[in-house]
Structure 1
Amino acid sequence: MLKNRLRRVVAVILFLTFCCWSATLVQSQPSRRVLLLHSYHSGMTWVDDLNAGISQVLRKDQVNVYFQIEYMDTKHNSGVEYLEMLHELFRAKYAGLKFDVVITADDAAFHFVREHRQEMFHGAPVVFCGLNDYSPEILEGMEDVTGIVEQGDVKSTLDLAVRLHPRARQLAIITDNSDTGRTMKAQVERVRKQLNPSVQLVFLDNLPLTVIADRLSLLPADSVVYLGPYTVDLSGVGMDPASVVRTLRLDQSSLPVYTTNRSFLGRGLVGGYVISGVALGKRAAGLALRILNGEKAGAVPILIETPELPMFDYPQLERFSIALSELPAASVVLRQPLSFYGQFRNWILLALVFVGCQSALIVVLTLNIRKRKKAQEELRESEKKYRSLTSSLPEIVLELDRDARLTFMNQPGLLRLQYQPEDVRNRLSFFEIVAPTDRDRVREYLAMSIDGKGDSVELSMAARDGYTFPAIMRMNLLLEKQHLVGYRGLCFDISERKRAEEELKKLHDELEKRVQDRTFELARANSELRTEIEDKRQTEQELLESRKDLRRIAAHLETIREEENRRIAREIHDGLATSLTAAKVEADCLDQASAPERKLRIEALKELLNTVTEDVRRIARNLRPSLIEDFGLKAAVEWFCTDFRQRTGIRCSLSLPESLDCSDTTATALFRILQEALTNVTRHANATQVNVKISGEEETILLEIRDNGVGIDPGGMCRDTLGIIGMQERAIRLGGFFSITKIAEGGTMVAVRVPHRSR
């Protein structure tokens, strides 16, 4: 039963682990793919260095980059049939994959990708490295291609060999018959004239390795050998560096051999300016990352300079007596034996660290001891100065332990309280020198000081003979490592201050009484002064009001006079002047009229004169309409409308409220406005019907006069018309408004709204 449970638990754990691993795998699935295609096989130093350099750069971004390596192994297999087989293999292998960048290493891989790029790699950008036979023509027809050209510094290596062997008179050059070998030979030919003219060049190429080995054995002792690229023999069979060195017997040769190929080092060759496969790989990977980050491969410049390092084999340097100081700066020496320090470097460093720590600890302890002794000496000196200083103070200086027992009291305090130093040494309680009535308050003060709330306290101190005196005490805490160890403070005798306070209190009370008496006298005088000022201000106010009343009365009289003058002018203009004008016209026509006609005109003239007489009487009557005073506005309006209808023959309808209560001023103004409006209807409107309506509201009275005449044009109305101006002025004077408008159906409407201003 237990086993079954264990199996189930293990199964669940494995299942959960698998799920987590699957989720992690899915989340970490790279989004970009890079293919590195090598011309040669794995295990070659050159190939492994390239892989190391490219991996160091791309593995930093391995979460997003999937890095895959393929080897063409052209050193062991070559020919058209083999390349065709690789073509079929890679086409089937990568049929469903699309690479973001393809990196080619050396010539064979580049030419293979150039031929099958579109078919196999879907036109992916290409970064080449280690390309020996580079020329701009080989990139014709290719886009998105960049890379690094492999151009070993043959001249620097040859110059170095001649410099390290100044007696050399012959320089043998060994290369194979491959494209790389021919390229290197061409480089030597180009720099041949720049070499030391005293050194003769001998080319050992296009020969079997055994023959080259025999030729080397026949070279004179003042010869130096340069081994170039040698990867295939004359039959086209690939050869590795070990077999080349073994066949040529270079490890047994008495001649120094130099090279620019890293694979040959450590096999009997001295060294030279070696192309660094790691550095070359890093540069190629850097170009690939630039493309992955969005740059076009065609926009990335092709690098011509190849990274090289001066690299040497230490046993060969010893063999040919070459000092390390003769080597170029920053040279790399392989298989150099370690010195004693190199062999035991870690132990030596550990011992030095241990000795350094011990020495530092000893120095720190020594300094600490010196510092402590100095601090103790300074403390004793400070204590001496402190006691000397406190002895010169008049105040009582105290030090207490945490139980409030005396540990120190200065000499003035001992004398004031009549105690001896032995009492302090016997830890006299502080509360013995405090009056019994204040001991509880002092205990509270000390407790509050611990909480940081105590400032000072006033108390009565008691001498040994029972004499008490008032004092103020201020205490500070004594702390060691944040722990309370006691108190230190001062006690100030305030007897003199107390006596001064008593005297001051007496003087203050006396002064307060005097101030109160004086204040009472000043308050009484101030009250009388305010009464006098108020009477004077009231008199001035009444005088101002009287002057305002006089000005209002004068303005009112002037207004009445002006209004009366304007009213008389309107009456004369509208009635009497018109009748006199007509009478003048009739009189002018008498001279030219015949006897019968003259009689008629005389009758008409008499009628006009009667009219003038009536107008004069009416004007005199209208100078003060007594009907308003006797019967009110309503009766006056009814009389005037009836008189208007009889005089003009124009129908006049009247609408009045049941009661119309307003002031005399308002009634007179409304009556005058009605008179002027109906007079204008008679003169100008050519109307047959007039409607007069007076309505009373809560606060205002509305007067409306409508006729069915020709209507008035407000825009063309003369601004100097005395009748309209008079009506408007009367309404404004009452605080109301006046309007005259043309009715759309025909006629004119005059509207006046004024306040009641009831009696």
Structure 2
Amino acid sequence: MNKSINILWRTSLLFMLILLFGFQASARKQRVLVLHSYHQGLNWTDNVSEGIQSVLAKDDNVELMFEYMDTKRNSDPEYLHEFAKLYGLKHQKNKFAAIIVSDNNALDFVRNYNSDFFKDTPIIFCSIDQFTSELVEGIDQVSGVTEEIDSKKTIEVALQLHPKAKQLVVINDNQTQSAILNRNNIKSFWPQLDTDVNLIFLENLSIEELVDQVQNLDPNSIIYLINFSRDKEGNFISYQENIEIIRAATKLPIYSSWEFYFNEGIVGGMITSGYNQGQFAAQITLDVLNGDDLNSIPIIQGGYNAFKFDYEQLKRFKILPKQLPKGSIISNQPPSIIRQYQTSLFVIIFGTLIMLVILRYSKIRIQQNEKKLIQENEELDRRVAERTKEVVFANEKLELQTEQILKQNTELEDHRHNLLELVKERTENLEEANLELKSSRKRLLRMLDANSDGVWEHNFENEQVYISKIIWDKLGYNSVTAADTKDLLCKLIHPEDLMLIKQKHKKNKMGHSLLFITEFRICTKKNEWMWFKAKGKILDYNEEGKPRNIVGTLINITERKEAEAKIKAEERKLRVSEKRWRSLIEQASDGILIYDTTGKILDANSAACNWLGYSTREILQLNYSEIDLNHSSSALHTYWRKLTTSTPSLSFESTQKRKDGSNFPVEIHLSLIELQDSKLILSVINDISIRQETERKILNAVINTEESERKRFATDLHDSIGPLLSSINLYLSSLGKFDSVIEKEQIIKASVDAVNEALVSIKEISNNLSPHILNDFGLEKAIQSFTNKINLSQTISISFYAEHMEERINEQVEVVIFRVVNELINNTIKHAKATNIEINLSREGNLISLIYIDDGIGFDAKEINAGTSTGMGLYNVLSRIRSLNGSHKIKSNPKRGGMMALVEINL
């Protein structure tokens, strides 16, 4: 008893130690991060992940983690900066034994943030296009697999398989450096092919333009698809979507060098495999985890591409497998009858051979026995006379031999029976194997159901559809049986999507298509639409070669669809904003030009084109220095260099040249536009021809007015002061001729009177130049005195009202307003034939307002407001108002009569 307890205790202790060591071993798992440039769900990215998992997922000591940068759809610097911050938050405490980076953007990220996140961590790269040593500069431990596509071999085999082709059409979005290099590579080796086929590139197109051009291609054309994941408007298109668009637009043969297009409608080519890239990178990682020095492992730069072709497409274009290059891989090729029933045929043939051997053996034995019997009978006949005594013995011997023959026949029959039993047993074993196969298939479906978003199956023979429970749980439905599934799906799937699904289902059922791939909406229990992506493949065929069933997976893509909808909404907002901005520029009355720091004109509005006389296309071919007459190219660059963040704008005047050779003066306002990677200059141009003409008119008016004042002053002095001074001179000269005191006093008195009269005249002249009452008592008293003098004539009635004018204002403003009132009254008396004038002068804070109204005949006020009137007296006075940062407005109606003038000056 004690011995049993001791054994049990030792066994328990051993079991606990095993568990303890197991936990310690699991705690020592090595973490490996896979950093993808693109997003999960992209064919290329998923293939690379599968290749990595095929190697590292088998190792129990490795823990894989995946991170997706999503740069296929988001690649601007602001996004990458935010992604770096998010990466730091997620992985700042994670210590990775190695990091696998997929595609160029991930490698750039690791290089740029090496000192922040990846120092001393082994970096293994894969899928790196156009690899150079600069891409890994600064990374201490690095190696991996480059990505080299072989366009030349793909195009060569395409031309060999289609000898009647007249042109090769290359489809390429030309939006990335890699795409440009691939195009240039084709152009470089094309002359070496020695072919009469024309080479055509379809690049920089929108989706609609691409479809239109593909639909109108020559029937004797071959298409080579490099990539079309982004159109000229910058819209992202997935690999599957762009091949579907091209495949739907044409029936021409399509070739490519990318694995993510394989089995999607291309004939084939020298295929670059993302799966192989992932496998190679994972194997290098495994070597590093096992202790190898990463820097001693050479970079793999070839040997991973292979010729691959789609059997369905070969059959479609009547291409035989023997025409393909040696060693080509053919997918979707149905197995031969011998391969389908290989085991059964082997059993039947083997059994038949055994039966034939047994039957042949039996026949030989019978023939031998018969021959022997004949010989013995002949021997008996010859010896009948001699051996009469042995007849009985011979007969017994014959009977014995006959029994032996019968016994042998019985044995042969038993042997044949055993053989039939053996065949029956083998048949039963085959049935058991089939049952085991079905059981394995069910286990596989359960495994897929447990490890993915969902699994589905459609049996074409009984028309039953199965969808895993996890999908029904997501949709909110319970207790859905296989018998109810098909009818329920027809009710729940969106009607628009249901038609497409039925069309694809019909092709699968008839055997026209091996694959089933589509995206559709299903209504949930809460009456909400949920998006799913279904992928499936025909699994079994019946004896007639018709599809028996199709099995596939269901992936919930609702979040992706919602994200895509948001992106499209943002794009629409951007387009609306762009249209609004363009509309504002086009509606501007000023000319607007946008050019870079070299002077190359990038955009112009209609006003600028009209002023300069160029069309939009013509003006975009010019450099700004070609239209500026006053500044050399170096002088313009001096202005542009002055534009900085601290000095974002400046103005100057110049002269611009029109297309017809004429020129006109302009005032130019420059503003700096700073973009992420460049600087642009916004130039707002004002035609100042009218302003300069106006300034010339004002200058002439001022000169004429000053000249008139001089002439009037000279006339007044000549007519008034001159005679008086001559009289005084005469009086004083004759003073010596008189002796009597009385006569001298009379002469002196006459001289004094003349001097007094001269003083009065000088005072009147001075008052006309600058009224003394305006200088002594201010604007209100001066206007009141002036209007009172005119009212004495009783030819016109003037009413004057002043409000808040007790405090004196700026002397210059007082003189301008007084001159305005004088000029308005003079114009009314001379031209308006008015009987009444009303003048209102007021002050509110720093604002001086003058309202002048008469009831005279009307006139066209537009000429005065625009500065085109020929009457320069009033225009000269009003121009002085503008010089004081004031404003004026004159209104009049030629039919109804009357005039009103409003003048405002901000002190």
- TM category, shorter: 0.3 to 0.5
- For normalisation by structure 1, the TM-score amounts to 0.43
The higher radius of gyration belongs to: 1
